[in-house]
C-alpha cells in the first residue's frame, strides 16, 4: 500500500516492528550518557525513590523510581561497553515475535527491518566511532508525516546509521509514490552537544555527571539532533517537544520543510526528549497521559480534549534484575501503548491496572507480552512505526 500515516489512532493497515537481533551491549560514552542521563543514576542511596506513592507527585519533566545502580564512568574520554545478558535478549525477541504475530492476527501487514548483522560492531565517521545497536525502537529515528518518510538526526552515536536497516522498505514506499527526506546529519563531536538541559533543567540537578567535551578538528558547535518520538501526530497538526538547542534547530527545520502541509506546535521540556511515555492520542478528543500536569502543558487545543490519566505503575509489574542490569526507562513505559483502531489498543499484559482503566473507558484491549521494556528502552509504541493508517490530514484542532 502507499505510505499514509497522519495520526496515532486511525485503523492500522501496515506497521514496522523493530528487531533486537544481535543486541549484545550498550556503549556508555558522552552521547549515551546525555540521552539517558535522567534514567542513569549513581549508586547513591539518597537518590533512591523508595515508594510508588512518590511517583504521582513527580514533576512531568522527570522520570522517577530509578534502579540506582550505575557507577560514574571514569574519565571524560572513555567508551565503555556494557554487555546485555543473552537471556533477556532472547526473551525480548520472543516478545517481539508475539507482538508481530498479534498485529498480523488483527489483519495488519507487518514489516521488519533488516536484522543487524552479528559482526557489525562499530560505526565510524571522520569524527568518532561507536558500537551499533539493533533497530529496535524504530519509532525514534523516522517520522512518518502523511505521505512522507523523514529520517530524523539521531542523538546517540550508536544509532547514527540505524535507518539504513529500513532501506528496502523505504525504497518500496518511495517507488509507490512516497516522499522521502533525510534531515541534516550532525557531525556529532563532543562540542555538538547542548549540555544545558542536563545541567539546569533536571529536577533536583543533574543525576549523572557529564564529562567536559573534548576538542575535535570537526567541531562546528551545537547541531540539529532530534528524534521522531518527540512528536505527536494529529492529522494536519504535529506537537513537537523542545528541550534543548538541538531540538529547537530540528523543529525549525521541520516547520520550514512542512510549511503549507502541516502545522507544528512546540511544547517545551515536556520531557527530556521523547513524549510517548508522557502523552499519547487514543482517538480524536481523547489523550492518555502520565499526569494531569502533562496534559496541562500541551497546546490549548489539546487541553480541551478528554484525558485518561494512566494508573501509577507498581513495582510488581516489573521483573527483578541483577544489580548490574542497566535500566533505561521510567516505570511509566507501559503507557506507551499502540492503537490499532480508535477503539482498540495493544497494552502490555504486565500492566493489569492500565488494562482495567482502558477497558473501563470502553476500549477493546489486546494484551501482549512484553517483559523487559525497562532494559531496552521502549514499549509497543516505541517498537513500531506505523506506515499505513486510514486517517487523513484532518484538522482536529479547530
Ligand atoms: N528519559 C528518557 C530517555 C529515554 C528515551 C528513549 C528511550 O528509548 C529510553 C529512554 C525518556 O523519555 O524519555
Ligand atoms: N520512543 C521511545 N523510545 N520512547 C521511550 C521513552 C521512554 C522514557 N524515557 C521513559 O523513561 O519512560
- The length of the chain in residues reads 398
What residue ranges do the domains of the chain occupy? 12-42+81-389
The rounded distance, in Å, linking the Cα atoms of 286 and 382 is 20
Q: How many CB atoms lie within 10 A of CB 57?
A: 8
**CA 360 to the chain's CA centroid:** 27
Ligand nearest to the CA of 310: 2
- CA-nearest of 34, 8, 22 to 136 is 22
Mutate to test the pocket of ligand 2, among 274, 331, 334, 372 (most ligand atoms within 8 A of CB): 274
Query: What does the pLDDT average to over 292-310?
Result: 98
Q: What positions carry a catalytic annotation?
A: 227, 274, 382
Give the predicted TM-score (pTM) of the model.
0.92
CA of 180 to the centre of ligand 1 (A): 26
CB within 8 Å of 163: residues ≥ 6 apart: 135, 141, 142, 151, 170, 182
Please indicate whether residue 230, judged by its CB atom, sits closer than 6 Å to ligand 1: no
| pLDDT tens, position by position, 331-355 | 999 999 999 999 999 999 999 999 9
Share of the chain above pLDDT 70, in %: 87
Beta bridge partners of 111: 16
The rounded distance, in Å, linking the Cα atoms of 218 and 332 is 38
What value of ipTM does the predicted structure carry? Answer: 0.93
The DSSP secondary-structure symbol of 4 reads B
Write phi, then psi, for 209 (nearest 5 degrees).
Answer: -65, 135
> Looking at residue 72, what is its pLDDT?
54
Enumerate helices (H) and strands (E) in the chain, giving the number of each. Answer: 10, 19
Q: Is the pLDDT of residue 63 over 70?
A: no
Please indicate whether residue 373, judged by its CB atom, sits closer than 6 Å to ligand 2: no
Least confident of 50-64, 203-217, 368-382: 50-64
CA of 61 to the centre of ligand 2 (A): 12
CA of 107 to the centre of ligand 1 (A): 30
> Looking at residue 284, what is its pLDDT?
98
Beta bridge partners of 294: none
Average pLDDT value over all residues in the chain: 89
Q: Does domain 12-42+81-389 have CATH number 3.75.10.10?
A: yes
DSSP string over 129-172: EEE---S--TTSSEEEEBTEEEE---SSGGGTTGGGGGHHHHHH
Q: Is the pLDDT of residue 205 over 50?
A: no
Contact 363, 373 (CB under 8 A): no
Predicted confidence band of residue 190 (pLDDT cuts 50, 70, 90) = very high
> Looking at residue 199, what is its pLDDT?
73
Amino acid at each position: 500500500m502507499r505510505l499514509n500515516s497522519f495520526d496515532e489512532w486511525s485503523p492500522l493497515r501496515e506497521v514496522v516492528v523493530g528487531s533486537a537481533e544481535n543486541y549484545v551491549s550498550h556503549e556508555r560514552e558522552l552521547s549515551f550518557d546525555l540521552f539517558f542521563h535522567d534514567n542513569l543514576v549513581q549508586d547513591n542511596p539518597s537518590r533512591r525513590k523508595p515508594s510508588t506513592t512518590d511517583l504521582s507527585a513527580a514533576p512531568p519533566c522527570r522520570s522517577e523510581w530509578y534502579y540506582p545502580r550505575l557507577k560514574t564512568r571514569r574519565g571524560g574520554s572513555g567508551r565503555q561497553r556494557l554487555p546485555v545478558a543473552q537471556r533477556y535478549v532472547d526473551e525480548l525477541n520472543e516478545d517481539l515475535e508475539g507482538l508481530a504475530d498479534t498485529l498480523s492476527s488483527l489483519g495488519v501487514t507487518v514489516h521488519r527491518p533488516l536484522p543487524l548483522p552479528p559482526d557489525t560492531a562499530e560505526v565510524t565517521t571522520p569524527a568518532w566511532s561507536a558500537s551499533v545497536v539493533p533497530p529496535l525502537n524504530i519509532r525514534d529515528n523516522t517520522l512518518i508525516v502523511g505521505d512522507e518518510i523523514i529520517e530524523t538526526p539521531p542523538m546517540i552515536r550508536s544509532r547514527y546509521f540505524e535507518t539504513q536497516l529500513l532501506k528496502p522498505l523505504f525504497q518500496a514506499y518511495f517507488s509507490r509514490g512516497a516522499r522521502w527526506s533525510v534531515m541534516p546529519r550532525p557531525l556529532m563531536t563532543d562540542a555538538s552537544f547542548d549540555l544545558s538541559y542536563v545541567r539546569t533543567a533536571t529536577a533536583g540537578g543533574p543525576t549523572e555527571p557529564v564529562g567536559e567535551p573534548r576538542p575535535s578538528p570537526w567541531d562546528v558547535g551545537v547541531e540539529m539532533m532530534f528524534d521522531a518520538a518527540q512528536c505527536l501526530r494529529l492529522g494536519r497538526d504535529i506537537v513537537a517537544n523542545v528541550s534543548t538547542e538541538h531540538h529547537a534547530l530540528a523543529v525549525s527545520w521541520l516547520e520550514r520543510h512542512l510549511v503549507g502541509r502541516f502545522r507544528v506546535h512546540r511544547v517545551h521540556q515536556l520531557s527530556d526528549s521523547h513524549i510517548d511515555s508522557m502523552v499519547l492520542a487514543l482517538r480524536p478528543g481523547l489523550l492518555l497521559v502520565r499526569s494531569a500536569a502533562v496534559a496541562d502543558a500541551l497546546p490549548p487545543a489539546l487541553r480541551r480534549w478528554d484525558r485518561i490519566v494512566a494508573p501509577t505503575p507498581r513495582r510488581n509489574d516489573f521483573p527483578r534484575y541483577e544489580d548490574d542490569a542497566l535500566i533505561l526507562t521510567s516505570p511509566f513505559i507501559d503507557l506507551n501503548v499502540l492503537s490499532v483502531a480508535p477503539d482498540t489498543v495493544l497494552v502490555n499484559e504486565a500492566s493489569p491496572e492500565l488494562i482495567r482503566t482502558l477497558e473501563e473507558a470502553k476500549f477493546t484491549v489486546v494484551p501482549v507480552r512484553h517483559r523487559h521494556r525497562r532494559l531496552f528502552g521502549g514499549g509497543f509504541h516505541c517498537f513500531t512505526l506505523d506506515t499505513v493508517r486510514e486517517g487523513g490530514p484532518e484538522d482536529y484542532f479547530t
